[in-house]
C-alpha cells in the first residue's frame, strides 16, 4: 500500500464497512483517499459475527423491522433515521450480493436467523459466524476495482485541520513519529467505536474513539455518549481475550445458566435469552452479585442443541473456543458482559453532515439517532452500509479545488510519558469498567470523572501513536461519564441505580456535548 498523498478531493478516515461503502459511492465524483489506522482487516467490521438485518424474507416486512428497531431504542430513536435504515436495507443487501458477498443459503434461497428483540427471522449470515469479514472482503474487492480510490494502511489521523471554521483535512502521524497533513474538500469520519475504553471489551485494539475525540477537539457537537452497549456474552477465561460469543447462539436456542446451573433469564424478561441486550447484560450482573459462590460465573449452554449443526453454523466460535479447551457442543461456556458498541458519537444530520462545515460521519463513530438508547442486534453493519452511502452522496456536492496542505513542523522531542502510557490506558479502562459500566450511580460517575480529569496531564503533549490513542480514550471516557452523570434516569443501555426509572418529562431527548457544556435537545 502506498503512503497517503498530501491532497485529495474526498478523505475517508476509516476502512470498515461505512468507510469503504462511502468510498465506493464517492469514486465517480473525484479522487478518494481512505485511511486505515492499521491493516484494512483490523476493524470492528472484521470481527462482526452475528449478521446483518434486512426485511427480505417472505414472512417479514419493513414495518416490522422498523417497529423492532424503535422498540429496542427505548423511546430515543430518530424515527426518520430508523425508517431510512430499514427501507434502504434490501437495496444495500442486493448490492452486496451483486458485488460478490456470499451470504449463507439453503440451495438458492437466502437463510435468515433470529436474534434478540427481533420479531421475525431477518438476520443474514455469511460463513456461519463471519458475516463482517465476508462483507468487508466484498467491499474491499469492489473498491480495488475503482481507479479513483486509494487505500492507505497504517495511517493514523490525530486531528482535524480547520480553515476559517471549515474542516479541510487531517493531521496524521507516521510510524516513524513524524507528522503530515492531508487536505481535502470534505472529510468523512468512519473510525468505528471506542470499546477499548473498558477493561472488558469485544472490540479490537484499534477501537480507541479516535474520530469522536478528533471531532470534539475541533468543536463539533457530540451526542448520546452515555449509551454504551455491553454485549452480554463474551468468553470469560483468565489469559484469554474477551472473544464475542454471538447473540445468534441464543437465537439458535442456547440457554444462560448461573453458577448453580439454573436457567435464569425467564425471571427477567418474557423473551428470556432473546431479550434486548441491555436487559440480558444487567441480568447477568445481578446473578453474579447475588451468587453465593466466591468467584461466581455465568455460563452459556448449547449442550442440548444438535452438535453437528452448531459446528457448521458457528465454525469460527467453535474453533476459537477449542483453542481454550472448550468444546461448545459438550461443555458450558463461561461468559460475562463486555463493552461492545457505542450508540453515541459525532452528531450528524440525516445526510451525514456533522455540525462543522466540511465534516461528515458514518457508522459507529456517528450519532444519527438511528439506534436510540439501545441498538437492535445486527443493525450495526447495516447502518454502516446505509449511512456510509448517504454521507458520500452529500459529500459529492463539496467538490472544489484543493491545495496541498503545508507540512507541519517536526514534533518537539519529549519523554511523552511513553513509559507510562500503557499504565495510563489500563487505569482509564479500570475506572470506566468500575464506575461507567453496565450499572452506574451518581456517586460512581462523579468519582470516575474526577479520576479521569486527574489523568489529563498524563496524556498531554502526545507525540507517539499510542499516546494519541491514550489521549483519545481519555477524551471519549470523559464524554461518556459526563453525559451519563447528566442523564438522571435509566433508559436503554444506560442504567443508574439512583434513578432506575424513565423520566420522559426531562430526558426523552438526546444529550449534546459541545465544549464543556452538556444539554438535552
| Cα dihedral 363, 366, 370, 371 sign | positive
233 Cβ neighbours under 8 A, 6+ residues apart: 244, 245, 247, 249, 250, 256, 280, 300, 333, 335, 337
C-alpha cell at 113: 436467523
Q: Which residue has the cell 444495500?
A: 92
Strand order of the sheet with strand 186-189? 149-152, 32-35, 10-13, 186-189, 359-361
Q: How many residues does this entry show for the chain?
A: 521
The CA-based angle 101-107-110, given to 5 degrees, is 45
> Taking the chain, what is the end-to-end CA distance rounded to the nearest angstrom?
44
Burial letters for 52-84: b for 16+ Cβ neighbours within 10 Å, e otherwise? bbbbbbeebebebbbebbbbbbbebbbeebbbb
Q: Are strands 10-13 and 32-35 parallel, antiparallel or unpaired?
A: parallel
Quick count: other Cβ atoms within 10 Å of Cβ 98? Answer: 10
Query: What is the grid cell recorded at 436?
Result: 461507567
Residue 419 CB partners (closer than 8 Å, separation 6+): none
Query: Around Cβ 450, how many Cβ atoms within 10 Å?
Result: 11
- DSSP classification of residue 82: H
Q: CA 435, CA 412: separation in Å to the nearest integer?
A: 36
Between CA 375 and CA 245 the distance in angstroms is 17
Nearest CA-CA partner of 404 in 189, 188, 180: 180
Find out whether 294 and 260 touch, Cβ atoms under 8 Å.
no
The β-bridge relationship of strands 333-342 and 109-110 is unpaired
What would the grid cell of residue 440 be? 452506574
C-alpha cell at 218: 475541533
Where would I find the H helices in 43-103? 44-47, 62-72, 79-98
277 is catalytic: yes
Catalytic hit among 21, 242, 250, 277: 277
- Annotated catalytic sites, by residue? 277
Amino acid at each position: 500500500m502506498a503512503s497517503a498523498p498530501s491532497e485529495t478531493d474526498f478523505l475517508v478516515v476509516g476502512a470498515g464497512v461505512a468507510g469503504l461503502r462511502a468510498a465506493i459511492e464517492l469514486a465517480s465524483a473525484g479522487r478518494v483517499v481512505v485511511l486505515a489506522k492499521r491493516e484494512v482487516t483490523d476493524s470492528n467490521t472484521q470481527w462482526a459475527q452475528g449478521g446483518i438485518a434486512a426485511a427480505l424474507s417472505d414472512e417479514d416486512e419493513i414495518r416490522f423491522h422498523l417497529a423492532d428497531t424503535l422498540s429496542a431504542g427505548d423511546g430515543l430513536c430518530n424515527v426518520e433515521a430508523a425508517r431510512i435504515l430499514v427501507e434502504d436495507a434490501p437495496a444495500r443487501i442486493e448490492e452486496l450480493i451483486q458485488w460478490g458477498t456470499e451470504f449463507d443459503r439453503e440451495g438458492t434461497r437466502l437463510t435468515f436467523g433470529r436474534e434478540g428483540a427481533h420479531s421475525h427471522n431477518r438476520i443474514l449470515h455469511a460463513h456461519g459466524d463471519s458475516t463482517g469479514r465476508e462483507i468487508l472482503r466484498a467491499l474491499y474487492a469492489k473498491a480495488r476495482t475503482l481507479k479513483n480510490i486509494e487505500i492507505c494502511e497504517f495511517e493514523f489521523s490525530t486531528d482535524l485541520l480547520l480553515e476559517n471554521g471549515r474542516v479541510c483535512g487531517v493531521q496524521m502521524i507516521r510510524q516513524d513519529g513524524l507528522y503530515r497533513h492531508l487536505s481535502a474538500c470534505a472529510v468523512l469520519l468512519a473510525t468505528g467505536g471506542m470499546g477499548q475504553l473498558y477493561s472488558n471489551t469485544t472490540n479490537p485494539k484499534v477501537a480507541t474513539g479516535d474520530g469522536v475525540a478528533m471531532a470534539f477537539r475541533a468543536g463539533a457537537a457530540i451526542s448520546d455518549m452515555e449509551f454504551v452497549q455491553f454485549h452480554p456474552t463474551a468468553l470469560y477465561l483468565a489469559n484469554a481475550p474477551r472473544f464475542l460469543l454471538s447473540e445468534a447462539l441464543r437465537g439458535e436456542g442456547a440457554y444462560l445458566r448461573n453458577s448453580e446451573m439454573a436457567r435464569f433469564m425467564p425471571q427477567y424478561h418474557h423473551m428470556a435469552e432473546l431479550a434486548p441486550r441491555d436487559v440480558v447484560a444487567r441480568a447477568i450482573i445481578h446473578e453474579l452479585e447475588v451468587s453465593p459462590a466466591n468467584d461466581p460465573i455465568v455460563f452459556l449452554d448449547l449442550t442440548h442443541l444438535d452438535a453437528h449443526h452448531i459446528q457448521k453454523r458457528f465454525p469460527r466460535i467453535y474453533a476459537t473456543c477449542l483453542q481454550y479447551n472448550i468444546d461448545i457442543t459438550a461443555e458450558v461456556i463461561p461468559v460475562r458482559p463486555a463493552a461492545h458498541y457505542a450508540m453515541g458519537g459525532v452528531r450528524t444530520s440525516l445526510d451525514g453532515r456533522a455540525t462543522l462545515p466540511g465534516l461528515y460521519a458514518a457508522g459507529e463513530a456517528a450519532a444519527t439517532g438511528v439506534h436510540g438508547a439501545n441498538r437492535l442486534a445486527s443493525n450495526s453493519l447495516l447502518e454502516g452500509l446505509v449511512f456510509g452511502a448517504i454521507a458520500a452522496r452529500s459529500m459529492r456536492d463539496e467538490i472544489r479545488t484543493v491545495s496541498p496542505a503545508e507540512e507541519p513542523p517536526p514534533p518537539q522531542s519529549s519523554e511523552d510519558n511513553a513509559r507510562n502510557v500503557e499504565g495510563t490506558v489500563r487505569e482509564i479502562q479500570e475506572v470506566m469498567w468500575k464506575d461507567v459500566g453496565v450499572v452506574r450511580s451518581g456517586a460512581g460517575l462523579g468519582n470516575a470523572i474526577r479520576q479521569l480529569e486527574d489523568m489529563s496531564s498524563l496524556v498531554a503533549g502526545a507525540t507517539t501513536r499510542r499516546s494519541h490513542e491514550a489521549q483519545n480514550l481519555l477524551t471519549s471516557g470523559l464524554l461518556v461519564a459526563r453525559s451519563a452523570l447528566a442523564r438522571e434516569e435509566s433508559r436503554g443501555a444506560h442504567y443508574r441505580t439512583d434513578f432506575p426509572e424513565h423520566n420522559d418529562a426531562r430526558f426523552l431527548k438526546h444529550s449534546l456535548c459541545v465544549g464543556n457544556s452538556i444539554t438535552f435537545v
